[in-house]
DNA sequence: ATGTCGAGTGAAACTCGA
């Protein structure tokens, strides 16, 4: 089974790209982020016509996440994280799909730092870790997939200096991410490509794509039962080079015997 | 050094967020 995560950066503007990606790569499960649409205007019919059941958690203009399942209907477990009832940003959706627990995550960017947006990012990471611990305790094969907006190590960016002051690679951001891994979650791309140099995001600005000036911020974290079945983890880099592409590339894992 | 894009508002060209 192949499970992918893809920050689509606007599902309405990107719908042709999304549909051709589903058609060409046929992921069994796809987690989307930055759908940037209210729940009412989500293109449910186009996705169902492509052969996918889907649930989504939208918001007008910004954020928004979704979970797609090929030939199946995801069963929603949770939308949003606990701990901040006043938080109205749509960044977390969790479902049972095809025998695995899947979360689609759009972690706050946190810029500028320091400041309230960075504080929100760190609080959100703490809330995520608490939810992850609850999932862990269920001992199910689980995948926490999405745009984490964290560059875990210096080898996960083309130039550490270029982003040294950015929220994506502050020590606090990295530490919060490392705590998740310390809890036992497996960073699947890191496991398969330990030396680094694998990017999932290239900025639209400053010719980042033609210069291959990218970094790795889209992650698929696996519970032990899922990590035991890890066969491969890759980035579909070519999709970043297409017309009207998202600034992220689809990133995926292959698990055997599920 | 700089280089972009999507969405909302509101009907062109700004703002915001990334």
Please report, in range form, the residues annotated as the binding site of A for Mg(2+). Answer: 7, 34, 147, 149, 247-248
Domain boundaries, chain A: 2-255
Average pLDDT, chain A: 98
Q: How far apart are CA A80 and CA A193, in angstroms?
A: 31
Structure confidence by residue, pLDDT tens digits, A108-166: 999 999 999 999 999 999 999 999 999 999 999 999 999 999 999 999 999 999 999 99
- DSSP code string of A166-206: SGGG-HHHHHHHHHHHHTT-EEHHHHH-TT----SEE-SST
pLDDT of the residue at A215: 98
Please report, in range form, the residues annotated as the binding site of A. Answer: 7, 34, 147, 149, 247-248
Global pTM? 0.98
Structure confidence by residue, pLDDT tens digits, A30-79: 999 999 999 999 999 999 999 999 999 999 999 999 999 999 999 999 99
DSSP code of residue A247: S
Among the listed residues A108, A84, A94, A78, the one whose alpha carbon sits nearest the alpha carbon of residue A31? A94
Q: How long is chain A?
A: 258
Give the architecture-level CATH label for domain A2-255: 4-Layer Sandwich (3.60)
Tell me which nucleotides of strand B come within 7 A of a protein CB. 2-8, 17-18
């Amino acid at each position: 089974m192949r499970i992918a995560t893809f920050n689509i950066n606007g599902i309405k503007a990107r719908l042709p790209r999304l549909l051709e990606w589903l058609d060409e790569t046929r992921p069994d499960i796809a987690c989307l982020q930055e759908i940037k649409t209210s729940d009412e205007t989500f293109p449910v019919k186009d996705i169902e016509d492509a052969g996918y059941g889907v649930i989504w958690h939208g918001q007008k203009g910004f954020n928004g996440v979704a979970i797609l399942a090929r030939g199946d209907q995801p069963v929603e477990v949770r939308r949003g994280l606990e701990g901040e009832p006043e938080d109205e940003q749509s960044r977390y959706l969790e479902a049972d799909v095809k025998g695995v627990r899947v979360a689609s995550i759009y972690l706050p960017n946190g810029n500028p730092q320091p400041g309230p947006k960075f504080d929100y990012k760190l609080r959100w990471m703490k809330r995520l870790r608490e939810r992850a611990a609850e999932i862990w305790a269920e001992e199910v094969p689980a995948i926490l997939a999405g745009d984490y907006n964290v560059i875990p190590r210096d080898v996960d960016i083309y130039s550490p200096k270029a982003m040294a002051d950015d929220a994506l690679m502050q020590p606090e951001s990295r530490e919060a991410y490392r705590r998740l891994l310390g809890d036992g979650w497996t960073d699947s791309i890191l496991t398969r490509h330990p030396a680094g140099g694998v990017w999932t995001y290239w900025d639209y600005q400053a010719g980042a794509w033609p210069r291959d000036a990218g970094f790795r911020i889209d992650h698929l974290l696996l519970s032990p039962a899922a990590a035991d079945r890890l066969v491969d983890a890759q980035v579909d880099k070519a999709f970043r080079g297409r017309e009207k592409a998202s600034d992220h590339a689809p990133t995926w894992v292959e698990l055997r015997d599920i």
